[in-house]
Amino acid sequence: MTEQNVKALPLMEAPRKRAHRPPQHWCDLDPEQRRQAIIDLGLPKFRADQISRQFFGRLAADPDQWTDLPAGLRDQVAETLFPPLLEEVSRISCDDGNTVKILWRLGGGDLVESVIMHYPARRTADGRESAARTTMCISSQAGCGMGCPFCATGQNGLQRNLSAAEIVLQAHRGAELLAAGEIGGKPLRISNIVFMGMGEPMANYRAVMQAVRTLHAPAPDGLGISARGITVSTVGLVPRMKQLADEGLPVTLALSLHAPDEELRNELVPITQRYGVAEVMDAAYAYAEKTRRRVSIEYILIKDMNDQGFRADLLADLIHARGNWNWAHVNLIPLNPTPGSVWTASRKEDEREFVRRLEAKGISVTVRDTRGQEIDGACGQLAAKGA
């Protein structure tokens, strides 16, 4: 897809100030570029595979641990190709240590957040055993330019896009912590990566896709996370949704819809003024058709705003109008209120009625397990406090 046959993307995507540009890092490069970078240092290219085996395979971020490289080479490579990009500012936890939120400081001083959520195996109501899983939510931008009024990140505006390395390093550090047993009480691995932290991933498309390929690549080239375990969210940047369908990666697309009718969505998701509900839903369906991957329709439930039963019916009709197969799953999210907000989560009885209405029309639906409210779990809250 060329730039000529897609709409211009919103002006809100571009940072309005001169942004800090991070130095190039190993995680910004693909495997061939890494080998060339090593050759440019005057070293044999096999050293690139050694370094990647240490960094991605063993999760060894400290060059002093790269014992198969001579000590002198470690310092040279680290200084040139592993500049420090993320500094951990704070780490807070809840849910008996199974949910951890990390605040990072980037070069230039901007703050971003990541959240790690471990879900232990448990027995369901019908007696089945659910498998344990660990999900990490990562950021793709410092701040966000989409302007959704209920979102703490959106209230702070957009500072800048993250580089591919700044994105990958969040996951790498999370993988380190999990492997060391610092979350969940025993060594764990990341099962899923969701681009639902700070920022609009599709507004930083090139860096996000480079990061996705590195996260997905098997060791020693990346972290080896299944493409089906990676979710990329968007508020509805239609040209990028179409472009994602052509990438050849079966990642999950998550569409943050939040309202099935144009007028209300214009208020909740201002980007709708450029890409309307019908156009966004058409793009979501086209993604499902091309990839055969079910799209996740994200819908934050806000008390007396978008949680009425008739809107559940409208949402079901939108889905059915585009396909008679189970192409979409609705993920209902109780609102995690931000400080000073006049909006709050729906009443439980309204939440249940919304679910009942969707299920009555044959729509697959779940209510997200809310976590992290006591640790400022909504995206952007911790960064706002840390600024």
CA separation for the pair 367, 300 (Å, rounded): 10
Q: CA angle 281-204-171, nearest 5°?
A: 105
Residue 200 marked in a binding site: yes
Q: Which of 27, 137, 298, 379 is catalytic?
A: 379
What long-range pairs does 277-284 form, CB within 8 A, spacing at least 24?
Answer: 277/318, 279/238, 280/236, 280/238, 280/241, 280/255, 281/255, 281/257, 281/318, 281/319, 281/322, 282/322, 283/236, 283/238, 283/241, 283/242, 284/241, 284/253, 284/255, 284/328
CA separation for the pair 121, 151 (Å, rounded): 31
User: Is the CA virtual torsion 70, 75, 78, 81 positive or negative?
Assistant: negative
Residue 199 marked in a binding site: yes
CA separation for the pair 86, 106 (Å, rounded): 5
Q: CA angle 197-202-203, nearest 5°?
A: 95
Residue 52 marked in a binding site: no
User: Is the CA virtual torsion 186, 188, 140, 164 positive or negative?
Assistant: positive
On whether the CB atoms of residues 132 and 118 are closer than 8 A, the answer is: yes
CA separation for the pair 69, 82 (Å, rounded): 15
Residue 341 marked in a binding site: no
Peptide bond into 220 cis (omega under 30): yes
Residue 216 marked in a binding site: no
CA separation for the pair 104, 217 (Å, rounded): 25
Residue 27 marked in a binding site: no
Question: Which pair of tokens denotes residue 200?
Answer: 């609009």
113 is catalytic: yes
Residue 233 marked in a binding site: yes
379 is catalytic: yes
On whether the CB atoms of residues 80 and 355 are closer than 8 A, the answer is: no
Q: Which DSSP string corresponds to 232-257?
A: EEES--HHHHHHHHTS---PEEEEE-
Residue 256 marked in a binding site: yes
SS3 call for 116: strand
Alpha helices (runs of H) in 46-186, residue ranges in sequence order: 46-52, 71-81, 152-155, 164-179
Q: Which of 13, 113, 166, 298 is catalytic?
A: 113
Residue 137 marked in a binding site: no
- Binding-site residue numbers for [4Fe-4S] cluster are 144, 148, 151
Give catalytic residue positions: 113, 379
Residue ranges of the annotated binding site for S-adenosyl-L-methionine are: 199-200, 233, 256-258, 336
Known binding-site residues equal 144, 148, 151, 199-200, 233, 256-258, 336
